[in-house]
């Protein structure tokens, strides 16, 4: 499942970070690395951007960037 498909409030664990070159590097630098637990906190009214919680901070991502991150839902 992709991060942008995850329901609001459902926890998940990142399994793979896609993208090419600078985009992938930027995602990894922001802490979006495999085995990291993430939760979607808020989705903008038109669906872009989305706000996620990970590693003790809140991060806002464009939906296009969230499509590059694969996650696996986990039980809270």
C-alpha–C-alpha distance, residues 46 and 21, integer Å: 28
Query: Which pTM does this prediction carry?
Result: 0.85
End-to-end CA distance of the chain: 17
> Taking Cα atoms as reference points, which of 29, 30, 23, 35 lies closest to residue 59?
30
pLDDT per residue as tens digits for the range 21-58: 899 999 999 999 999 999 999 999 988 899 999 999 99
CATH class of 3-73: mainly beta
Q: How confident is the model at residue 76 (pLDDT cuts 50, 70, 90)?
A: low
């Amino acid at each position: 499942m992709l991060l942008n498909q995850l329901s609001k409030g459902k926890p998940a664990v990142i399994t793979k970070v896609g993208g090419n070159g600078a985009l992938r590097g930027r995602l990894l630098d922001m802490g979006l690395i495999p085995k990291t637990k993430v939760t979607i906190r808020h989705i903008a009214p038109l669906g872009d951007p989305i706000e996620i919680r990970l590693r003790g901070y809140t991060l806002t991502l464009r939906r296009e960037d969230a499509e590059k991150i694969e996650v696996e839902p986990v039980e809270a």
